[in-house]
Amino acid sequence: MSRRPRKAAGTGPSRPTVSVCRGCCCGTPKIPGVDHAGQLAQLRGALDGAATVRAVECLDACEHGNVVVVQPSAEGRRAGGRPVWLGLVNDPQAVADIATWAGQGGPGIVDPPEILDLYAFSPSRRIRAGLEEKES
């Protein structure tokens, strides 16, 4: 159980969360030719105030590295949005497309750009549960 206090319902802005894997493979030289620090900085800069961007430990989907998960805001979840897992996010344009979508509201609020369909994948239930556990 987390020791962090939970926000009371209805306080603060409802915004999506962008989780960027920075574990054993993602964000490391194991994926060459990618400015990993720049990728995270690009997301944080583009989404400042519009979405929460966080680096997380290994999401155990290394075959899809670099992995980014866009989780819906509370409003997006109420509208039916679910987390969207994106893999092989290894170029600045993909990061820009993710930032634009999340900045507009993300899952449940705005449909993702069609190009992101090329990056989407479905992780196993065990992996999805691990991310949800990290959120608690």
The number of C-alpha atoms within 13 Å of 121 and in the hemisphere containing its C-beta is 16
Average pLDDT over residues 78-98: 96
SS3 string of 17-68?
A: EEEEECCCCCCCCCCCCCCHHHHHHHHHHHHCCCCEEEEECCCCCHHHCCCE
Kindly report, residue by residue over 120-132, the tens digit of the pLDDT: 999 887 776 766 6
pLDDT digit string (tens) for 36-51? Answer: 999 999 999 999 999 9
- Bridge partners of 54, per DSSP, are 19
Instruction: Specify burial of residue 130 (Cβ count, 10 A radius: 0-12, 13-18, 19+).
Output: middle
Task: Judge whether 71 and 35 are in contact, CB under 8 Å.
Answer: no
Q: How far apart are the C-alpha atoms of 93 and 69, rounded to whole Å?
A: 16
What is the arithmetic mean of pLDDT over 85-93? 95
* Residue scoring higher pLDDT (125 or 3): 125
**pLDDT tens, residue by residue, 4-57:** 454 444 445 589 999 999 988 898 889 999 999 999 999 999 999 999 999 999
* Higher per-residue confidence, 3 vs 24: 24
Question: Model pTM?
Answer: 0.84
